[in-house]
Amino acid sequence: MKRYLVLEDGNIYSGQAFGADTNAFGELVFSTGMSGYQESITDQSYNGEILMFTFPLIGNYGINRDDYESITPTCKGVVVHELARRSSNWRMDLSLDDYLKQNNIPGISGIDTRAVTRHIRSKGALKAVLVDEITDTTVSDLKKASLPKDEVATSTTSKPYSVPAIGKKIVLVDFGLKLSILRELSARNCNIVVLPADSSAEDVLSHDPDGVMLSNGPGDPKDVPTALDMIRGVEKEVPLFGICLGHQLFALANGANTFKMKFGHRGFNHPVRELATGRIDFTSQNHGYAVDRDSLKDTELEVTHEEINDQTVEGIKHKIYPAFSVQYHPDAAPGPHDADYLFDRFIQMIDENKEKGKVSHD
């Protein structure tokens, strides 16, 4: 069956329908990853977006029960060049086509995704729809449509929950977290309490945490103003580590600014340099907003990492408090694990803060 990808600038691409038999509306974004489509589709950072893969063949190893980054995917649609006719992998439970049907997400294949990607890189991020029929008002209606601003509210957990262990107590504030963050903390025997995005500093500190993590998540960080007071109240009490959206919120809470990028960073091959050491990590990234470097000048924050290709800010730390953040995903999943040492650095920061507290108390 025919399906169409329509962009707000009037460009129309014809392809074949797969997945759910429904229309989709969202911002069209592209990922340059060669694998990891299951993790990407289930990443809550894609909430409200139509996800396009530049790698030409998608779906060849199906969907399995181990690689989910969230239980309920919230991306709006999937765009591929070629959908694998037959999926095969010993871990596979179902095909990508069947998975999208189960979750009411439409897909389109037969699209020259690299050509569309070049178009987005030239024009910038664009609103788009997936439709089975084009009318006289399809493009004009698309131009008038507004993108949602409640992505975090529809991605976060509605209730607190715990992932118990015998180690350090970590409160993880969920703005749309990836399960791989929980896996990395659990691998370090952390006793984790996950709280909703609208939690206050009092809520967080009532759990007497050794450290606090701010998770990744979707959308514009300026659409989550309630998190800023929470961060300001927490960072002066316990060590804090922010990832992706958590990084942007940490910056905003301390007086910096963020901006929307032309087409964002989405993929698993972004080189990042640590300024203090010159160390270069290849990183997994998924974001359409970034921290404004110039806005950091009058704050208590300093840049620790930058993206080599475009020099965007990829990491910051507080000059006074034991708090830092990175724009990329040290948990990877999918992607390289070059930066997973940052979880160890967070644990070390907690130990050092406890030791400092003992010395001060003595």
The β-bridge relationship of strands 106-109 and 77-79 is parallel
Rounded Cα–Cα distance for residues 75 and 100 (Å): 10
Q: Confirm or deny that 99 is annotated as ligand binding.
A: no
Q: Confirm or deny that 182 is annotated as ligand binding.
A: no
Residues in the chain where the model's pLDDT stays below 70: 358-362
Structure tokens at 106: 């439409």
Q: Confirm or deny that 217 is annotated as ligand binding.
A: yes
Which CATH class for the 161-361 domain? alpha beta
Residues 305, 307, 313, 318, Cα dihedral to 10°: -10
pLDDT at 15: 98
- The amino acid sitting at 240 is L
pLDDT at 4: 98
Q: Confirm or deny that 248 is annotated as ligand binding.
A: yes
pLDDT at 357: 72
Exposure b/e, 297-314, CB count within 10 A at least 16 = b: eebebeebbbbeeeebbb
Q: Confirm or deny that 245 is annotated as ligand binding.
A: yes
3-state secondary structure of 213: strand
Q: Confirm or deny that 311 is annotated as ligand binding.
A: no
Which CATH class for the 2-144 domain? alpha beta
Q: Which residues are catalytic?
A: 244, 329, 331
Residue 47 near residue 155, CB atoms below 8 Å: yes
Q: Confirm or deny that 89 is annotated as ligand binding.
A: no
Rounded Cα–Cα distance for residues 218 and 199 (Å): 17
Examine domains 2-144 and 161-361 and report if their fold is the same.
no
pLDDT at 358: 56
Cα-Cα-Cα-Cα dihedral sign, residues 34, 84, 50, 70? negative
2-55: per-residue pLDDT in tens?
999 999 999 999 999 999 999 999 999 999 988 899 999 999 999 999 999 999
Exposure b/e, 134-164, CB count within 10 A at least 16 = b: eeeebbeebeeeeebeebbbebbeeeeeeee
Query: Model-level pTM?
Result: 0.96
The strand pairing partners of 102, in sequence order, are none
Domain ranges of the chain: 2-144, 161-361
Q: Confirm or deny that 219 is annotated as ligand binding.
A: yes
